[in-house]
Structure 1
């Protein structure tokens, strides 16, 4: 069982090598042993917590759609009529405005019609008979140039959508780890029930043999009574092991679900025959596992994105403190008949200056965003340290549990040999059934110790794969493609 060292590269294949077996197992019926991948696949596809996390992703996508609405064109229309009074006139105005993500540029186009009598001070409302068409643009030269509220909201919505995708991946990874734990606990409970049942059946088979030998005067009555005592105790152990298996099966059903998402209580007929035999390992690959964990862990990527969200807040606060220098250009032309002074094409240029004197709001928002940014950076630093420790601990646990499996297997073999040898001595009258039962109890404890060592080994393997995101199929890893257009 002990190799010269340990080879970590094989472990991914050990757990993930059965990809795709879930559908085949379902098709083949109840007699097929339940595989770990079937449980993991069911958890990924049908667990309610996955559905809840997917709803969060859908909500983030809806928020992104709402943020893109900031760049929707806006139509404004207005009509005014004064049929009674000294200056009787009518006015109609309609304008389409289109904000763009290009340095805050805003475009506009529209039409207006003004007919009737206008006072001198409202002469700008008058148009030729067919009205006026106009187009214009507004370009911020300083504030709202590099960033503005619309673009900030859109950028943050994109980032939050990616954060939600990584949170979904983190939820999926955590659920798969729990599912794997429950699966191996279920396998262990099945194995312990097998051990308890075999010991009970052994004592039951001896009952008739011992009764015959007592009748023949070969052994004293106390030996038969001793077997009855052991038989009762082993029956109680068998019932306890059966109850432990039922509990493990029910817990497993929370992760093993049908297409409708309902828990499946799996039959004991689908219990595997035992645990896979651990392969030899070699002492290498620590840096590779650490690099993979730090590159793929979703919580680290999520924290990086949260820091980017706050960077947008900092940039927006800086923008709010800057002076507004807006350049405007408008071209208008009247069509139809009417006064000659309305016929020429009109070109207007404008420059608007707006300077915040104290900018306390902007400074406060910037300081708050920078403080939150520092807090996220501290959490990211600690999360990185936790992940490094988690990977190292998982590798250490895998190494130790591998050694324990070898020792436990050897101890179980020796205990079984001693139990068989002691019973042979009993048959020759060289010992008592009490000593035989003690030897057999020691063998049972050694076998259960081996089962526990195997469970610890599989848990350590799951921990390593979860810590390095090797439980996560590559096709389901969140894609981080960066920002796209509005």
Structure 2
């Protein structure tokens, strides 16, 4: 009896030595991993966003929106550019000069549809039309053309300039929104890289743990202290851990390459993320500060939000179109007056030398014009309703994102408690195994639940980060 107890005690001592040895090796493995991480260079989220904002082509494309809107304004102002033109016609047949006609003119449009004109005519020939007779030195004229009714208070040129100015404002708002979308896409890539990296580190640690456990179990079997089936059980979990690690490493490689799509240097040179770079470890503590988000706020100030400002600007543009269409309900009447005189006598004004004219047109039923006004009013009302809907939608989205942040913070806290509980259960199972009251199967079962809880924690944190990034995009404050 004494000998049997001594043998059982010896078995427990040996198992304890194996387990302690495994723990020491696992600790050395952790130390090696930590040292390897310290040898790597941390690539913070703030640094990453700085690179994207400065060099990424999507951000540069967003800047082109402003350039295009400025070009539209320049084009609209071009409708008010002075215009010079000249016409020359000559006919000669059978040694006779039938006519020699020259006309040059300068037109200067102004804001309210008034147009100033200056012209010079010089015509010669044996068969000149009497209408084209002018003094030998030519005939000069200056005059003005004034719209009465349609085109006086607003016309196509005025409308284009007003819309051009609005296009410039719209370009600034759309640029901001485009940059926010680019930063959100880049943030998704960074956060996925961080998630896959942490999963690789997790599976790597537990793989080494399973490897060391397999080694001391084999030694225990050789000593006759464990049955061969325990080696099969521990081998299954070792292969599982290796498979999980290899799959995670593949996803990490893909996420690293995807993240490289957002890394550019000056002169549009693409970069590739080095394997020595590691994501920011304390991102959960720093992300809100990096993005300038107040976690205590639940509402947002919509006064200067670029999306709503863009919609308001589009409404203003539709209002310009509506006024232009409404102006076409008026009769089109234009009066012209030109003072004419020979160049030598131009300084002596003579009221009797002039050329006047008037043109009038007016559709009787105005069906086309009235229909265009109704269409413009319907589009304007539709845009106003859309603005109201977007304002409420945006406010509710921000509220929901803040609620999600609070919920996921609570979920992460609860899951950390689960991790601590699973760790405690695993430690207890190991102690029972040391006393010969448990098995490798139960240890693996406890460990699987711990690994699953840790993976869940990584995924919860990733979802939390994505919510923060989406909230940043919704707030649209670069």
1:4-15 superposed matches below 5 A: none
Counterpart CA distance in 2 for 1:258 and 1:203 is 43
1:129-144 superposed matches below 5 A: 129-144=136-151
Whether 1:306 aligns to 2:318 is no
Per the alignment, do residues 367 and 107 of structure 1 end up closer, same or farther by CA in structure 2, a change over 3 Å counting? same
SS in 2 for 1:137: strand
Whether 1:417 aligns to 2:424 is yes
SS in 2 for 1:141: strand
Counterpart CA distance in 1 for 2:427 and 2:271 is 41
Counterpart CA distance in 1 for 2:226 and 2:261 is 53
2:433 to 423, 426, 450: 426
> What is the CA deviation profile of residues 416-452 of structure 1, one whole-angstrom value per residue up to 9, with x for unaligned ones?
2332333233234342222222222221112112212
Other-structure match for 2:452 = 445
Counterpart CA distance in 2 for 1:192 and 1:57 is 42
> What's the CA shift for 1:315?
1.0
2:183 to 172, 176, 188: 176
> What is the CA deviation profile of residues 293-349 of structure 1, one whole-angstrom value per residue up to 9, with x for unaligned ones?
x33443322222222222121111111111234343323331449xxx998883556
Per the alignment, do residues 209 and 87 of structure 1 end up closer, same or farther by CA in structure 2, a change over 3 Å counting? closer
Other-structure match for 1:96 = 106
> What is the CA deviation profile of residues 32-58 of structure 1, one whole-angstrom value per residue up to 9, with x for unaligned ones?
322223433444445454455555554
1:57-456 superposed matches below 5 A: 57-81=66-90, 90-101=100-111, 103-115=112-124, 122=130, 125-127=133-135, 129-259=136-266, 261=268, 264-272=271-279, 274-278=281-285, 284-287=296-299, 289=300, 291=301, 294-336=302-344, 346-347=353-354, 352-456=359-463
Counterpart CA distance in 2 for 1:234 and 1:331 is 98
- Tell me, which stretches of 5 or more residues in structure 1 are unaligned? 1-29, 473-486
> What is the CA deviation profile of residues 185-237 of structure 1, one whole-angstrom value per residue up to 9, with x for unaligned ones?
21111111111110010111223322333333343333333222211111111
Counterpart CA distance in 2 for 1:137 and 1:125 is 23
> What's the CA shift for 1:91?
3.8
Q: Quote the RMSD (CA, aligned, Å).
A: 3.3
Task: Tell whether the 8 Å contact from 2:322 to 2:377 is kept in structure 1 after alignment.
Answer: yes
Other-structure match for 2:476 = 469
Counterpart CA distance in 2 for 1:196 and 1:248 is 17
> What's the CA shift for 1:174?
1.7
Counterpart CA distance in 2 for 1:163 and 1:141 is 33
SS in 1 for 2:184: helix
Counterpart CA distance in 2 for 1:164 and 1:335 is 50
Count of residue correspondences: 432
TM-score by length of 1: 0.78
Counterpart CA distance in 2 for 1:276 and 1:223 is 41
Task: Tell whether the 8 Å contact from 2:45 to 2:280 is kept in structure 1 after alignment.
Answer: no
Counterpart CA distance in 2 for 1:87 and 1:465 is 79
Counterpart CA distance in 2 for 1:303 and 1:359 is 31
Counterpart CA distance in 1 for 2:438 and 2:378 is 78
Task: Tell whether the 8 Å contact from 2:193 to 2:279 is kept in structure 1 after alignment.
Answer: no
Other-structure match for 1:9 = none
Counterpart CA distance in 1 for 2:146 and 2:249 is 77
Task: Tell whether the 8 Å contact from 2:284 to 2:465 is kept in structure 1 after alignment.
Answer: no
Counterpart CA distance in 2 for 1:456 and 1:192 is 14
- Tell me, which stretches of 5 or more residues in structure 2 are unaligned? 1-38
Per the alignment, do residues 205 and 342 of structure 1 end up closer, same or farther by CA in structure 2, a change over 3 Å counting? closer
Task: Tell whether the 8 Å contact from 1:332 to 1:345 is kept in structure 2 after alignment.
Answer: no
> What's the CA shift for 1:401?
0.6
Counterpart CA distance in 2 for 1:137 and 1:225 is 103
Task: Tell whether the 8 Å contact from 1:296 to 1:469 is kept in structure 2 after alignment.
Answer: no
Q: Comparing 183-192 with 164-173, which one deviates more in the overlay? A: 164-173
Per the alignment, do residues 429 and 261 of structure 1 end up closer, same or farther by CA in structure 2, a change over 3 Å counting? farther
Counterpart CA distance in 1 for 2:88 and 2:176 is 54
Per the alignment, do residues 460 and 79 of structure 1 end up closer, same or farther by CA in structure 2, a change over 3 Å counting? closer
Counterpart CA distance in 2 for 1:252 and 1:174 is 16
